[in-house]
Amino acid sequence: QVQLVESGGGLVQAGGSLRLSCAASGRTFTSNSMGWFRQAPGKEREFVAAISWSTGRSYYADSVKGRFTISRDSAKNTVYLQIDSLKPEDTAVYYCAAKNFIGSVTRSREYDYWGQGTQVTVSS
């Protein structure tokens, strides 16, 4: 059993920044990778970024590359998503997720645990 708790969302003006946090507890030793996904009303859930716990290798969607940075603190079992140069199209509920096995990190169906989500709203 793994529990994920997200925090850091809020209302921000375009061009501003946020840092999202995801604190993991439970059997985190079973987790291979951690990912961030987002979903806006009327849209499909989309991959944002992911990171490997063991190697630290990171992956990004093309739409956020250069603006978003994923990182981890293994001692704290916490993953962060630094978001810079926010755009209105970044508005969505952001979810933290964990997967146990190697494979695709971009497909939501391959993840085993999910957080409750945190709302990010960007005003123009």
Give me 54's structure tokens: 């063991």
Is residue 30 very low, low, confident or very high in pLDDT (cuts 50, 70, 90)?
low
- Convert the pLDDT of each residue in 48-87 to its tens digit: 999 998 888 999 999 999 999 999 998 898 999 999 999 9
Give pLDDT, residue 45: 96
Could you say which DSSP state residue 8 is in? -
d(CA 21, CA 79): 6
Give me 48's structure tokens: 């944002």
d(CA 114, CA 4): 6
The whole-number average pLDDT for the span 82-107 is 93
Q: What type of residue is 101?
A: F
The whole-number average pLDDT for the span 31-51 is 94
d(CA 46, CA 50): 12
Average pLDDT, rounded, for the chain: 93
Pairing of strands 58-60, 10-13: unpaired
